[in-house]
Amino acid sequence: NAGVTQTPKFQVLKTGQSMTLQCAQDMNHEYMSWYRQDPGMGLRLIHYSVGAGITDQGEVPNGYNVSRSTTEDFPLRLLSAAPSQTSVYFCASSYSFPREQFFGPGTRLTVL
C-alpha cells in the first residue's frame, strides 16, 4: 500500500492564480480531510469528506473548494490564491471518524 499520497510536494503561485492539490489513498478509507499547518499554530481543518459525493466545511474553508467523486481521491482547489494561503497542506484519511488518521507527506505552498 502506498498509503496517502499528495502532489505536488512544493508549489509557488502568484496572487490570483488557481491550482489543485492532489490527494489519493489506497486503503479504502471513507473519511478524508484537508488541513493546513502554519508556524506556531496547530493543524486546522479546511474541508472533510465522510464518503464519495459528500463533503463539508471545516474550521477554515474560505478560499478553498473540494470534491469527492471517488473513494480514493480528494482534491483541494485554491480558487484565487492569496499570500495568506502560504502554508503546508496535509491530506489525511481514516476508515471512519474518529478512527486513527493517516497523513500524507504534505504540500508546501508559497503564494507571492
Phi, psi at 101, each rounded to 5°: -100, 145
> Does residue 103 bind other proteins (CB under 8 A)?
yes
In the complex, the smallest distance separating the C-beta of residue 49 from other proteins, rounded to whole angstroms, is 15
Written as one letter, the residue type at 34 is W
Of the two residues 13 and 106, which places its CB atom closer to other proteins in the complex? 106
> Does residue 2 bind other proteins (CB under 8 A)?
no
- In a 3-state reduction of DSSP, which class is residue 85? helix
**C-alpha to C-alpha distance for 12 and 1, rounded to whole angstroms:** 30
**Cβ 57 vs Cβ 39: under 8 Å:** no
Among 11, 17, 27, 43, binds other proteins (CB under 8 A): 43
Residues that bind other proteins (CB under 8 A): 4, 40-45, 90, 92, 97-98, 100-106
